[in-house]
Amino acid sequence: MTPEQRLHARLAELGAEDAAGAEGQKTVELDQQSVCRLSRMDALQNQAMAQAQARRREAERQKVRAALARLAEGDYGYCTECGDEIAPARLEADPAIARCAECMAAR
């Protein structure tokens, strides 16, 4: 599978994860008759975790889109900081990686 195919596949996976997590992000309804205090706190915590996961997916989606843009511009596989070539093993592990190991370590 080419890097472009892998990146598009990851975007599709993120979309599927968004759809699966949408229910957990809904507003927690306050119904004192059916939900005790601890259950409501648990529901609020679950909602917060679902929202955090949605933010993580959006950040990853932006990273993948940036990699696709670099691919289209012919800059894919080169560090966005120093311009050196990114090791093929790093790109294989994460096709959306933007920086070489040295620049990542310096951060």
What is the reported pTM?
A: 0.78
Rounded CA separation 66/104 (Å): 17
Q: Which tens digit of pLDDT belongs to each residue from 77-107?
A: 999 999 999 999 999 999 999 999 999 998 7
CA 42 from chain center: how many Å? 25
Residue in the block written with tokens 């997916």 = 57
pLDDT above 70 for 30: no
Opening angle at CA 96, ends 79 and 91, nearest 5: 70
Q: Which tens digit of pLDDT belongs to each residue from 36-82?
A: 666 777 878 888 888 899 999 999 999 999 999 999 999 999 999 99
Rounded CA separation 104/107 (Å): 5
Residue 57 token pair = 């997916």
What pLDDT, on the 0 to 100 scale, is given for residue 41? Answer: 79
State the CB neighbour count (10 A cutoff) for residue 95: 22
